[in-house]
Amino acid sequence: MRAVLIVMSDAVEGRDDEYNDWYDRVHLADVLAVPGFVAARRYVAEPSVHGELPAQRYLAVYEMEGDDLDALHSALSTAARRMEISAAFDRERTVTYTYRLITDGPAT
């Protein structure tokens, strides 16, 4: 089974540089050390075709692979207790979602 964990977050006001440095140098590696988390990418919001912006400025997409989605979530939750979390990370505004892959490429 393949899935993605979507994390939409923000930096504490005025601390974007510190937040991005921590996320890129520390947090991505911490999450990718969790068994089943196989890739990660980060994005910053830009206006959509209609000029809209999401509520959170930053997006992280973690690719997961494994037999049991609950086990992947549990492994991350357990590992997160030991992770260094920057004070520049605005926990109050963070939202996460998981999406399970249903189609991989165009149908034939």
Q: Which domains does the chain have, with CATH numbers?
A: 2-100 (3.30.70.100)
99, β-bridge pairs: 4
| Closest C-alpha to 85, from 16, 30, 8 | 30
Per-residue pLDDT tens digits of the chain, which is 108 residues long: 999 999 999 999 999 999 999 999 999 999 999 999 999 999 999 999 999 999 999 999 999 999 999 999 999 999 999 999 999 999 999 999 999 999 988 876
| Closest C-alpha to 100, from 60, 72, 59 | 72
**What is the pTM assigned to this prediction?**
0.93
